[in-house]
Amino acid sequence: MAEKKKSELFDWVKALLIAFGIAFIVRMFFFAPIVVDGPSMAPTLTDGDQMIVNKFIYNVSEPERFDIIVFHASAQQDFIKRVIGLPGEHVAVEDNVLYINGEEVEEPFMETKDGAKHSMTSDFYLEQLPGGYETIPEGHLLVLGDNRENSTDSRMLGLISMDQMVGKASLIYWPLDRIQIIRTQENEGAG
């Protein structure tokens, strides 16, 4: 009888260790939770939104324009922003219009229901940002918050290195009334 209890206890301990090991591997290499802190991505993301970050996606694909990413802004702090400029591109904003390589690019996530832009973007050119680049170098991205009037992003931080990337924000899971999968808006038009 004692042998059976000992064997049962060992099976439970083994199952728990395996479960914790799998959870650790998933958390370290595939997915991680993050809480949005502040208004810089409003109204797309709101302060307190709890999200899942896909840490693996950029091992098998490249970031796309308008992906929402998480990156290490410092050793102590991660930021969440939207990819605007990709390697090899020149980025400028004039009169609240985004230009990539001189071509106007729509930002559907910036529009309110009546078609007006919800946040003004001060004019800037890539050359004016920290680093003074003429085009975005390989392995770097230009990121901006959706709330352009209240966002610490590439305009202050400079370009973001792929080495700083944590992953792509892919799902809001809390609060319940905001549960949604985050999609790349460029590929979906205004929807």
Average pLDDT over residues 71-94: 92
Least trusted range by pLDDT, from 44-48, 99-103, 150-154, 187-191: 187-191
Q: Which residue has the higher pLDDT, 24 or 94?
A: 94
Whether 85 is covered by a domain: the verdict is: yes
Torsional class of 177: left (φ above 0), alpha (ψ -120 to 50), beta (otherwise): alpha
CA distance 11 to 88: 55
Task: Identify whether the C-beta of residue 57 lies closer than 8 Å to the C-beta of residue 167.
Answer: yes
Whether 19 is covered by a domain: the verdict is: no
- For the question of residue 40 being annotated catalytic, the response is yes
- For the question of residue 119 being annotated catalytic, the response is no
Whether 149 is covered by a domain: the verdict is: yes
pLDDT value, residue 1 = 63
**Banded model confidence at residue 188, pLDDT cuts 50, 70, 90:** very low
Whether 27 is covered by a domain: the verdict is: no
Average pLDDT over residues 31-54: 86
Tally of domains in the chain: 1
Q: Which two tokens stand for residue 83?
A: 């990819």
Q: What average pLDDT does the chain have?
A: 83
Least trusted range by pLDDT, from 29-43, 58-72, 139-153: 29-43
Residue 104's CATH number: 2.10.109.10
pLDDT exceeds 90 at position 71: yes
pLDDT value, residue 190 = 36
CA distance 72 to 105: 27
Q: Which two tokens stand for residue 156?
A: 């202050």
Whether 4 is covered by a domain: the verdict is: no
- Residues spanned by the domain of 108: 33-188
> CB neighbours (10 Å) of residue 60?
6
Return the percentage of the chain with pLDDT > 70, whole number.
85
Whether 22 is covered by a domain: the verdict is: no
Whether 80 is covered by a domain: the verdict is: yes
pLDDT value, residue 189 = 40
pLDDT exceeds 90 at position 32: no
Whether 121 is covered by a domain: the verdict is: yes
User: Among residues 40, 119, 151, 154, which one is catalytic?
Assistant: 40
User: Among residues 55, 81, 151, 168, which one is catalytic?
Assistant: 81
Tens of pLDDT, residues 114-161: 666 667 788 899 998 988 889 999 999 999 999 888 888 999 999 999
Is the Cα dihedral 162, 122, 79, 147 positive or negative?
A: negative
Task: Identify whether the C-beta of residue 153 lies closer than 8 Å to the C-beta of residue 38.
Answer: no
